[in-house]
Amino acid sequence: MLALVAGNGGLPGHLARALSEQPVLARIDGTSPEIEAELIFRLERIASFMDALKTRGVTELCFAGAVRRPEFDPGEVESRSKPFIDRIMAALGKGDDGALTILLQMFEAEGFVIRAAHELAPDLLPAAGVLTHNQPAPGDKKDAARAVAALEAIGVADIGQACVVRLGQVIAVETGFGTDWMLESLNRRPDGSGGTFVKAPKPGQDRRIDLPTIGPGTAARVAKAGLDGIVIEAGGVMVLDREETVKAADDAGIFLWVRQP
pLDDT of residue 75: 76
Per-residue pLDDT band for 95 (boundaries 50, 70, 90) equals low
- Summarize the confidence of residues 38-45 as an average pLDDT: 90
Domain that holds residue 115: 2-120
Same domain, 28 and 77: yes
Q: Is the pLDDT of residue 93 over 70?
A: no
Same domain, 71 and 155: no
Cα separation of 68 and 31, whole Å? 9
Domain count, the chain: 2
Same domain, 225 and 142: yes
Per-residue pLDDT band for 69 (boundaries 50, 70, 90) equals low
Q: Name the more confident of 109 and 36.
A: 109
Same domain, 152 and 241: yes
Q: CA angle 81-84-88, nearest 5°?
A: 130
Q: Which residues, 6+ apart, have CB-to-CB distance to 204 below 8 Å?
A: 97
Please report, for the domain that includes residue 238, its CATH number. 3.40.140.80
Contact 2, 21 (CB under 8 A): yes
Rg of the Cα trace of the chain? 19
pLDDT of residue 244: 97
Same domain, 254 and 135: yes
Global confidence as pTM? 0.88
- Summarize the confidence of residues 141-168 as an average pLDDT: 93
Share above pLDDT 70 across residues of the chain, in percent, rounded to a whole number: 97
Q: Is the pLDDT of residue 99 over 90?
A: no
CA nearest to 180, candidates 195, 160, 203, 165: 160
Q: Is the pLDDT of residue 79 over 90?
A: no
Please report, for the domain that includes residue 19, its CATH number. 3.40.50.20
Same domain, 137 and 237: yes
Same domain, 237 and 199: yes
The number of helix segments (H) and strand segments (E) in the chain equals 9, 13
Same domain, 8 and 34: yes
Domain boundary, last residue among 70, 92, 120:
120
Per-residue pLDDT tens digits for 203-248: 888 888 888 999 999 999 999 999 999 999 999 999 999 999 999 9
Cα separation of 229 and 249, whole Å? 8
Domain boundary, last residue among 85, 120, 155:
120
Same domain, 171 and 210: yes
Cα separation of 164 and 194, whole Å? 10
Same domain, 38 and 106: yes
Per-residue pLDDT band for 43 (boundaries 50, 70, 90) equals confident
